[in-house]
Structure 1
Amino acid sequence: MIGPTHELLPEATNPQPGRIVFLNGASSSGKSTVAEELLRTLDGAWYHLAVDHYHRARSRHDWSEEEFLPIFQRTVRGFHRVVAGMASAGNDVVVDHILGERWRVVDCLETFAGLPVYLVGVHCALPELERREQARGNRTIGRAALQFPIVHQDLRYDVEVHTDQQTAQDSAAQIAARLSKPPTAFEQLRAAGPSRS
């Protein structure tokens, strides 16, 4: 049993950075399902961090769009720093996110500098996204259609999965196989510079 008298272990004070498996895809594309399958099958301790959980944590108010935008952007930037902090402390993390705007990509490239990030494109055809959105009943209708043309724009990936064509198990296996080699997508994006407006 862990109690207050235990000292901080040496291996906890200066660890190797943890890996970040960064799932990017539109709302209802299956990121959370793939993330949970990864946690079930990958070796070691992995943590699933989803940006949606942080948006839910905010208090509810009737903000105008002008009032809400900086709150929203601070939340997303804060989420990036939570992910970076977990990985910097040596934890392996599966991230569930939507890179729908250039500032998000730029902030990730800056915040995750020096960390091993495997950028994963989670693809799904628009008709299936819309079907899932309707079926779930807890999604804003039309959000997936708005995100669909921009969420993968100008990005490069270490691995890409298609959740309308393969199971979560197959997607997770494909991602897990890629972890045997160093990631390259974030470095390529840094070199190219994201061109999205």
Structure 2
Amino acid sequence: MKKGVIVLLNGASSSGKTSISMELKKQNDIPFHHLSYGDFSGNYNDFINKTYPGIKPTRVLDDEVVSEILFDPISSVYYATIKLFSEMGLNVIVDTVIDNDKRFNEFHDLLMDLPTLFVGVLCSRDGLIRREHIRGDRALGLALYQFDIVYSFNEYDLEVNTEELSPTECADKIFRFINSDQEYSAFKKLNKREIRGS
């Protein structure tokens, strides 16, 4: 049995990754499962709220402290699920933001021996600013904060520009690449990154 294809969409917040993911899932020729980090962290919050309704902490923690405590364990489960799905022969769309070197290294270790199609989901700075304002559900400036590191990679198997192509056209371009039987080699050409300050 072949391992499932992993379509790793790399783009800043509001670049269009989730819209492309939904279009990829709509086509019937290749079944895909969409794995978003947000679903994992959101499900954890739902679990806490349903299991412990009315919980009243005796200390108030900053959101940043809560994030530091929970991020690594939730990330580990997220990464393990991606690998598990691929090992089971299931095709996966990975919808997340690789916005720091540590996270890239974790993906590098995870995906090196798996069939990973590395897709750059491109959008200009002005386009990201415009979309953040329209969406209204993201912290303004988040995409620009992520921009330089998210778009620092120089190796992709495929790039899609969401200002030039609709989500359907982007998904079709990815789908055609998969069906072309071209090798997925870009991710394997990237080296782990040195983490500064550690």
Superposed pair shares fold, TM > 0.5: yes
The more displaced of 153-162 and 78-87 is 153-162
* Residue identity in the other structure for 2:189: Q
- Alignment pair present for 1:31 and 2:32: no
Q: Could you tell me which residue of structure 1 aligns to residue 187 of structure 2?
A: 186
1:169 maps to 2:168: yes
> Which runs of 5 or more structure 2 residues have no equivalent in the other structure?
49-56
Q: Distance in 2 between matches of 1:20 and 1:144?
A: 24
Q: Map of 1:76-87 to 2, 5 A cutoff? A: 76-87=75-86
- Structure 2 distance, partners of 1:151, 1:135, is 21
Residue 77 of structure 1 deviates from its aligned partner by 2.8
2:53 equivalent in structure 1: none
Give the secondary structure class of the aligned counterpart of 2:150: coil
SS in 1 for 2:44: coil
Once the two structures are superposed, what CA deviation does each residue of 1:76-119 show, in whole Å capped at 9, x if it has no partner?
23211111111111101111110111111111111123210001
Q: Is the 8 A contact 1:22 1:118 kept in 2?
A: yes
TM-fit CA distance, 1:193:
3.2
Identity of aligned residues (%): 29
Distance 1:168 1:32, change over 3 A: same
Determine helix, strand or coil for the equivalent of 1:27: coil
Q: Higher RCO, 1 or 2 (CA under 8 Å, sep at least 6)?
A: 2
Distance 1:42 1:155 in 2: 32
Deviates further, 16-25 or 54-63: 54-63
Instruction: Give the number of aligned pairs.
Output: 181
Counterpart CA distance in 2 for 1:79 and 1:100 is 16
Q: TM-score, normalised by structure 1?
A: 0.83
Q: Aligned letter for 2:84? A: G
Aligned twin of 1:52 = 38
Q: Where is the helix percentage greater, Structure 1 or Structure 2?
A: 2
Please list every run of 5 or more consecutive structure 1 residues that lacks an aligned counterpart in the other structure: 1-14
